[in-house]
Each structure stands twice: as C-alpha cells, then as structure tokens.
Amino acid sequence: MPFPLSISRQSENDLAFATEMVDECLSDAIDQSASDIHFQPRRDRWEVYYRVDGVLHLAKTVPHDSKTSPVARLMSLAKLPSYMGGVPQEGAFQWSHGKSNTFEMRLGVFATVYGNRAVIRIMGHSGTVLDLDQLGLIENLASRLKRVCESRDGCLLVAGPAGSGKTTTLYACLQYIATAEQNRSVLTIEDPVESVIESISQSQLQPHSGLTLAAAMRSAVRQDAEVLLVSEIRDTETAEAVLSASMTGHLCFSSIHAGSLGSTLRRMVQMKLPTYAIRTGLRGIVCQRLVRCLCKHCQAAKSRKNDCDQCHGTGYRGRVPLFQLIEFDDSDETHQIFNSLELGMSADELDKMARQNGIVSLRDQAKDLIDNQITDAPEVFRVLGRLT
C-alpha cells in the first residue's frame, strides 16, 4: 500500500471502530499533505482514498459493517442530520492535529447503492497562503503578475480545470496586495473560504439565506472596496457583475473553468457578454495546470522503489505549475485578439494567435520540463493529453 494505515481495532462490529478509523484517517491524510479524503462504500468493504499532488491513492480497505459507519461519524462531527437519508448534504468541522494546528474540514455526503459516501476537503489555515514568488513561476511571470495586482481597475481571470491551482494563485495575488503596504480595501466573496489572509475582509456565500454569488457581488461594490475577489464565475449574471465592477474603479479577481486562453474568451462570449465589455473589463488571463515532479529520492537511487518513504512508491513528489499570462492593454496585439474574437474566431485560432504574440504554450512548457527531467511524459499525458 502506498499510504498504509495501522488502525489497531480489527472487529468491524466494534462500535468504536468507526471513530478510530476516522480519527486516524484524518490525521494521517494531513501528515501525507493530502488535499481530499474519500470514504467510498462498496458491497463488503470501505475504501479510503487520499488525493495527494492531485492524484487519488488507495490508502486503506476495511470491512463494511451495517452497525457502524465512518460516514455517520463524519456527519456527527459536522452536525449534519442523520435522518435525511438519500439527500446530499454538506457541512464543516474543525480538526486539531498536533499541538497547535487546527484544520477546517469541508464535508460532502452523497448517497450510493451501498450507502453514503463522503468526500472531505482539507482546507488550509492561516499562514499557508503562498507568496507570488513562491508559486514556482518561470522567467518574469511573477513580476508581470505583480504589475497586474498593482493596477487600479480591470479584472484578472484565472482559468483551468478543477485542481489546477487556481485558488492558490488568486490567494497569492491577494497576499501580495495585503502585504505590499498599499492600504487598499480588499473584500472577497468565496465558496468556501479556503484560507484566512490577515488584513483583508473575507466572506462566504450563504445560498440558503439568499446570499448568492450575484447578490453578494451587488452588495460588495457598495462596501467601498477597491479590490474584489469572486471565487468563480459560473453564470452570466456573475460575469456581468464582475466586469461591471472592473470598469467602475475596482480591481477584480476571479476564476473560470476553461481549458485555454482562447476558450476563456470564447466562453465569455457564449455567456452573451458583449465583446466591448470583455475588451474593456479584462486586465488579463492566467491559464494554468499543475504537473507532478519526479521524486528526487527515486532519481538518486535510479529506480522507483515501492518502499520509498518520500513518494510512497508513486515516483512523484511535489508539483510545478504550467503557467500562461496574457495582459490586455492598448497594444496592437490586444486589438488584434479582440477584433478576431468579435469576428467569431475559434478558441484554437485565438490560442495560435497568442503563441504568435510570444505566449509560450502549456505543451511547450511541459516539453521543457520533460527535457530537464523535472517530470515525465506519462505525467504530462495525464494532465494535458498527447503532446503531438
């Protein structure tokens, strides 16, 4: 097993078994730097998975018992009602690990044919937010990103699929603004708040009480905030609110699920946003992915041993970003991109135009990482697909 556990109790009929199982899994996942924990019920067993460096790994298999359930224990910790069978539920609880570390846990419960499954997101705590210089950006990308953060209006969109590091980048931007002695009023609208940053105001959506993303955005612009973060653009109403704020003296940050620079622009058009608003409101787009690095310990040993205590036999340890940043200004290149967008040019054609204007593609960046033995072709294929 790459992530072995050592739960001492072996009787699935022991009423304390579920409690001990949950306790050890939560603590062990934190030790392994996991971002998520999955408790998945099967016909005759529980399977526990950790997501480490973006990939799920089987950590433990234990017998299934109808009398005790780790998910029931988790629901109790999150104070979720047990009588609402079959209804998806979400909750939160705090977990203390070590002498002084307390982690926020986000729990989601979903019914399956073999019972409730649970997924836990391990949130960061204060002090875990990276600086822009710690993101591992190549060349002059960090300084260019700082330049965007020092703007007084416009919107920076961070694009990529789930698990590509969008929130980490957005938090790093806010951390830079908060520590750059700019004395700027910063307000966030998040779902959920993943890490706490001192000296800025962070808020969390409460959809059951009417605090939706679009409603919170409308109120936020009346809070005398100079910098606004909206965790994600999911619909036209939110996109319109963010662009409107970015054109009225606010510097806005948000994320969007899109695969490339071109597909980000095309998606905004598909949201029925006028091209002139996109052109006026956008300050820039970041497109990023995360690829796992080859385990240095395994490389030094010139083999991948299943008993490697550094990578747990996976052959990888840590991740490095593939990162593109395109800034929009009054240059001929910017006008060319938006004129082409208005003429209906496809996402692939817009991406080609960006490359012609000096934006290095994610695939070319990945090839460089392979050539420098930082990662390998199978990992790049997992993240980006084929390179050719």
| Full set of structural domains in the chain with CATH | 17-122 (3.30.450.90), 132-384 (3.40.50.300)
Secondary structure of residue 265 in the 3-state scheme: helix
What is the structure's pLDDT at 380?
96
116: CB partners within 8 A, 6+ apart: 41, 69, 71, 72, 75, 109, 110
How are strands ordered across the β-sheet holding 201-204?
201-204, 186-190, 227-230, 251-256, 154-159, 282-294, 316-327
In whole angstroms, how large is the CA radius of gyration of the chain? Answer: 23
Name 95's Cβ contacts closer than 8 Å, sequence gap at least 6: 26, 30, 102, 103, 105
C-beta separation of 327 from 358 below 8 A:
no
Splitting the chain (388 residues) into consecutive groups of 10 residues, what average pLDDT does each group show?
50 69 93 93 94 93 81 94 85 85 91 94 73 87 94 96 93 91 86 84 78 77 90 90 92 95 96 94 96 89 69 89 94 94 95 93 95 95 85
